[in-house]
Amino acid sequence: MKSLVTYFSQTGRTKLVAEAIFEAIPPEKELKEFGDVDSLDGYDLAFVGFPIHAFGPCQAGKDFLQQHAAGKKVALFITHAAPENQEG
């Protein structure tokens, strides 16, 4: 099975999660930033990651899914941040 791990990351946190997923999945895999992906054709499964911005998916994540995900097997991973002093 050929897999792709692709992501959008502004601060590097989503990239770290993408790299961890990449290391954990079986061989025959690729790791790419969104901008380096032309198509999901040729992959059996794509892990797609991006951060949450303002309580929703970032625009890059929405755009990537709209352009590439229809009819494909996709596993999403989402990252978010919170203020350091936030409780709960």
Query: What residue spans define the domains of the chain?
Result: 3-79
Report residues of the chain scoring pLDDT below 70: 82-83, 86-88
The CATH architecture that domain 3-79 belongs to is 3-Layer(aba) Sandwich (3.40)
The pLDDT score that the predictor gives to residue 86 is 65
- Residue 19: both structure tokens together: 């790299």
Q: What is the pTM of this model?
A: 0.90
Locate all alpha helices (DSSP H) within the chain, ordered by sequence: 13-24, 59-68
